[in-house]
Amino acid sequence: MVTFSQIASRIIQEQALIIGPLAWDEARKVRGVQIIDLQKGTVEIHNGDERDVVDHLVAQYERLFGLASRVACREAVGSMIAELPPAQIPTSLKP
């Protein structure tokens, strides 16, 4: 089963392909996201509702780079969120 930490990790990695190391800097600003291994691109979500943390992560990128960032995040995790029940999908990743 997919975890929200895996979803967050994939989002950050996809953003890093687009904007480079700035993606990791922006992820560090999101409360609840803890970078475990930058080389491997792994993160963990702590403190609160995991869906809310993912929503804040997506919003962080969207504030800087607009709607295209939200779309890129959705596309990056599309196959992952397909495994989740609709009620568990973070709002920012819903179509």
pLDDT in tens, 49-61: 999 999 999 999 9
34's enclosing H/E stretch is strand 33-37
pLDDT of residue 1: 83
What letter represents residue 91's amino acid? Answer: T
Are 4 and 45 in contact by the 8 Å Cβ rule? The answer is: yes
Write down the pTM of the prediction. 0.94
**Cα dihedral angle (76, 67, 55, 41), rounded to 10 degrees?**
40
